[in-house]
């Protein structure tokens, strides 16, 4: 998992982030597995993502995150999440 805190605005524009679909989730905790690579940009919220066999990673509003294909993890939403996302 790659987390970029506060990416430059021109990077978000070049990725066309604002044209990606939006996903929302209330405060919750659940297991998740990625079938393909996901890139997302958090508009709001805060979550701890714990990949299986790895250390927890905190992501929050303003972070650009790449989740690799085939990663299994646990999401622990500390604040409701709203994010743009794209699967590759």
Calculate the dihedral angle through the C-alpha atoms of 50, 55, 86, 29, rounding to the nearest 10 degrees: 10
**Residue 80's CATH number:** 2.60.120.10
**E strands present in 6-62:** 22-25, 29-33, 38-51, 57-60
Number of domains in the chain: 1
Helix (H) or strand (E) holding 21: none
Q: Which structural domain range is residue 31 located in? A: 2-87
Give residue-wise pLDDT tens across range 55-76.
Answer: 999 999 999 999 999 999 999 9
> Is the whole-model pTM more than 0.75?
yes
Give residue-wise pLDDT tens across range 15-42.
Answer: 999 999 999 999 999 999 999 999 999 9
In this prediction, residue 24 carries a pLDDT of: 97
In this prediction, residue 3 carries a pLDDT of: 97
Cβ neighbours around 84 below 10 Å, total: 20
């Amino acid at each position: 998992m790659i987390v970029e805190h506060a990416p430059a605005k021109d990077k978000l524009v070049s990725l066309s982030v604002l044209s990606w679909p939006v996903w929302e989730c209330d405060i919750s905790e659940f297991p998740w597995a990625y079938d393909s690579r996901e890139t997302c940009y958090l508009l709001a919220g805060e979550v701890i993502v714990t990949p299986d066999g790895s250390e927890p990673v905190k992501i929050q509003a303003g972070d650009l995150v790449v989740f690799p294909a085939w990663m299994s993890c646990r999401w622990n939403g500390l604040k409701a999440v709203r994010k743009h996302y794209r699967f590759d």
